[in-house]
Amino acid sequence: MTTAFTPEAATPADQLAIEDLLDLAFGLSRRTKTSYRLREGNTAVEGLSMVVRDPELGIAGTISYWPLRIGEAGTKALLLGPIAIHPQRQNQGIGLSLMRTTLAKAAAQGHALVILVGDAPYYARVGFMKIPDGQMLLPGPVDPKRFLFLELRAGALSAAHGLVLPENRYHEQQRLAQTG
């Protein structure tokens, strides 16, 4: 069964249903993954958290993006994820629709680079590629084959070298460096 769907802005009232969907899709251990270190204490980028609603299931899909800084230069980037689709609605194009819609919005907002940790063949469908070995480091273990990027502005990857941090932690480190 194919369900008609349209990505729309997530609201604060959706948060509990989104968390339930993420638990269903990824299990409770999802919070131990390295990509979650980049979300802790961070705030999702305004206008890029979206859902697909389903009359039977409630929220059938969700996606969010988080602000990052890379290396000493503090190159700006976004972390895509999590993206989750309800098991009863997978393989219907919801994930691709959420990504295409939000990546276009991110580009329109002026963002230049998006990174993620995920299944390379799936994300390649919207243009993601493997980050060159050694170019960036995450704050925890990650399979380098699953560490991916997408340039929303040509050449954006070339400025991104070093440790990837959530934007809030990068700013904390900068303040400490100035006062220490």
Residue-wise pLDDT tens digits, 119-164? 999 999 999 999 999 999 999 999 999 999 999 999 999 999 999 9
Q: Is residue 3 part of a domain?
A: no
- Specify the pLDDT at position 180: 62
- Residues 96-108: what's their mean pLDDT? 97
C-alpha to C-alpha distance for 84 and 74, rounded to whole angstroms:
29
Give 130's strand partners: 148
User: Containing domain of residue 45, as a range?
Assistant: 8-179
Global confidence as pTM: 0.92
Rg (CA), the chain: 16
Q: Is residue 1 part of a domain?
A: no
What is the tally of structural domains in the chain? Answer: 1
3-state helix, strand, coil in the chain (%, to 5): 35, 30, 35
Residue 114 has pLDDT above 80, yes or no: yes
* Each residue's pLDDT tens digit, 39-90: 988 999 999 999 999 999 999 999 999 999 999 999 999 999 999 999 999 9
- Specify the pLDDT at position 148: 98
Q: Is residue 43 part of a domain?
A: yes
- Specify the pLDDT at position 1: 40
- Specify the pLDDT at position 41: 85
Phi-psi sector, 81: left (phi>0), alpha (psi -120 to 50), beta = left
CATH number at residue 88: 3.40.630.30
